[in-house]
Each structure stands twice: as C-alpha cells, then as structure tokens.
Structure 1
Amino acid sequence: MRPCIPRVPLRQTPISLRLGVRANHSAPPPPPKTPVEPTVFADKSSPREVHNRPEIIRGMPPLGSKPKVTTSTGEKGFSTKGREEAFSGPSKPRLVYSRPGERDLPKLKSRAPLVIGLSLLGLGWGLFLLHATNSERLASSVLRQVTFQLRNSPQVIGILGENVRLQENWWALGQPWINGTINLMQGRVDLSFRIRGNKGGGTVYFTSIRPQEQGAWRIVRYKLIADDGEVIMLENMQARS
C-alpha cells in the first residue's frame, strides 16, 4: 500500500517552494554573446576601374585647370591632356542636315489627260441619257397609236407610198429619233419625227393637250410635211394620245 501523504493547500505552501517549482519548468538562459570587433580602415578605398571624368568626355575643362591662350585673337581656353578647345560663348544649336540650295520649283504635270478624260466621261453620260429618253419615247403608247394611224391613212399612202414606217438613223444606233416630250401626267404631248414610204419621206408634227385633269385630249397640231413640200393636215383623223 502507498503511504498516505497529506495534502497541503497551495496558499499555505511557502513562496520559495512555489517559485522553485515554477523555475524548474522555465527555459534555460541563452549563452553569452561574443563581442564583435570593429572594422578599422587604414586608407581610402580605390576604384577597381578607372574612367575618364564627365567633363573630359564632354570637352569641358577639368576641375582645377588653369586658362591658357590657344588662339591668336586673345581668347582664353582650357587645356586638357591631348585635347585643346576654345570657347568664345555659349553653345549654339547645330543643323541636323544641310539646307538645300536655291532651286526651281518642280513643274506641274500636264492636266490635259485629266480634262480630256472628264470631257469624254461627261459626253458619254450625256449620250446615254439621250439614248435612254429616246427609247422611252419609242416605247410610249402615244407614238404607237400615231404611227398606226399613219400606216393606215390613205392620204399618207398616196404621197409616201406603201410600207410607211419610222425612219432609222445611223447616229441613233439604228433606231428612229423622236424629238419632243411626252408627259401624260401634266397633259402635254409634243412630238416630231421622220417617216418614210416606198415613194419618199416626210416629217410628222403631232401636238396634243388635255385642258382638264379628267377631261379628254385635244389635238392642237397634226400634220405631215413631205420632202417635196406638200403638206397634209391630219387633224380630221381624230387621233387620241
């Protein structure tokens, strides 16, 4: 059996005993540090690589140099080892490149090809518009009705002969050329064109208007002038546009 040890309360234990118990559980003290010896410099440090001073590279006098007359005009300069240069004033900006001498301005190219090209373009566009408007008049119902009446008119056949038709023109690309305007919306038709038969040819003039917007068309002029000078009035044929 274990011996019975009486328990003593912590408050009744002596302070030295309690401090000894706590001291046993703490870390050991650190070892003493060795003293650091100071560094002593006996002389100034010298650079490993020797370079020229900036004033020598730029052509300026080094520190401590004395002025020396280097020109015959009495200007004072500064002497350097193996190099002498005189300074008469502040530095001036230098030209990066030499200016070109006086010479004539370059001649402009001829504009004749450009003018000719634009003229041909405008002429071609104008001819296209004329051809388009002429084709539109040829395809109109007014011209078809008028030519139908001319082919079946006994008076026209008696002067021009059989096979009355519109006269083709070489400068109109093989098509008949119709002068005038056809404007059905505004009520105005004014045409003149050439026709030809087996006996001869002539010029037809046809003009018709519509006085009212919803009214009937009224023929103002409708006649044929043959090449021999004979004139035929065709208003009695009651052509309608």
Structure 2
Amino acid sequence: MKNTVPKNDKKRRKQLLEDVAKLEVELEEKHKEELKKLKETLPEQNKECSAALNIARLELEDKETIQPPRISKAQKRRDKKAALEKEREERIAEAEIENLTGARHLESQKLAQILAARGLEIKQIPSDGHCMYRAIEDQLKEQQNSWTVPTLRSRTAEYMGSHMDDFLPFLTNPNTGDLYSREEFEKYCYDIANTAAWGGQLELRALSHILQMPIEIIQMDSPSIIVGEEYNGKPLTLVYMRHAYGLGEHYNSVKPLLDRTTENES
C-alpha cells in the first residue's frame, strides 16, 4: 500500500498511515476473537490444551506490558528525526491545502494570466537562496550564455565591491537603521559570493551592468520593472513572487507557453 502512493503526495500518505493503523487494530481484534472461539470449541476435559490456550491468550493480552528491548541512543536519535520529519510533512500537507485558497494560489493564478497574455509561463526555480541567480542563469542559457550561479555571484560581489558609492546608500543595518559601515558592506559582498544569501534589486542592478543587458521583473500587482533600461537587446525575464514559499519572496524564470503544447503533441 505504501509503495502505491508517491512520496510527494503528502495528503494521500497521511491518509495511508491512518488506514494502516486502522487495519492493524482490526487485525489484532480479529486475532483475539478467533482465539476466544477456539477456546470455546475445545473439550473442557482437555486441560493440557486449555492451559496452552490460556498461556497464548495471556501472551496476546499482555504483550503491551512486556518490557521492550533496550533502545540505543543512536536508535532514539533516528526515531526522533523520523518523528520530526513526519510532523514536518504533515505541516507541509496542511499548508498545501490552505494554499489552494490562500495568497500563494491567487498570486500564481494572476501571474499565469499575465504571462499567458504574453505567450509565456512560469519555469519553476528551486527555493534554495540562489533562486534569483538560478533564474538569471536559466534565462542566459536561452541566449547561449553558459554563466553559472557561482560565476554570477562572484561577479556581482566584485562589481558591487568596486562601486561601493552606487550601492552603499541603499543598505541599512536592520537593527539600528543606520547606513552600512564599510566593514558591513564588505561583509555583505562576501556573503553574495560565498553563501546562499538571497539576491534582490541591488544585485539585479549590478548584474544588468555586468551583462550589459536589461532585466525585466514581472510581478502580480504592479507594472513590470525594467532594470538596466540603458542597455539594448531583449531583456532577461524573471517572475517575482511574494507569497511563493513560507519564507516569502522568490524568483522564477519563464519559458514560452507553446512548450506545453509541444510536449502534449509529442
């Protein structure tokens, strides 16, 4: 039964676990009932069989009271990890149900309409902290450019670091509200190149200068934003989603809507 349900179908797997538990309870009740009927059919004078039957009955009824074997610390850690994973999957399943009528679903529908009017559709990008750079990487592939995410990150950090006066006025310390110090700005650039730090409009501005290309950002409730309008050529197109994941903001790429038709025909 478990093998018939895909692992990513959280709702059906949750129902499957409930069904399995119910079947186990029913099976145990059936065993007890069969044991009871068997005892009633035995001759009363057959004391030896009756004693054996009583022992079997007691073992069945008292099996929950038998001390379980000693569980190792490693097994306890594995059990705890499995329990936490199960709880996380249940929360995800519940969130997915809520999203059917929530902000994420509505945003996806509205963006799908906007893109369809332009013959486009969303191309999903993983939400791993690199989403903006991965979306840029995907768009560049369409133009036969093989820049990778690490390259995009390192070049962005290098450009921003060498043009500090253009970017520093837009960065403030979230705790104090003060403009970044030089040391904080250098740390910010370091994180761009060496961590999964989320990228935003400042990084898009730097990338438009590095690539010398315009970058268009499509969003739900506002007109598209063009970063790097001073450059000619077809813009790279990204979709900005405010409610895509629990962490909030996310970037996706786009692809021609006709791709779906082509796939269906093939």
Q: Same fold (TM over 0.5)?
A: no
TM-score (norm 2): 0.22
Larger Rg: 1
- Structure with bigger helix share is 2
* Larger RCO of the pair (alpha carbons < 8 Å, separation 6+): 2
- Structure with bigger strand share is 1
TM-score (norm 1): 0.23
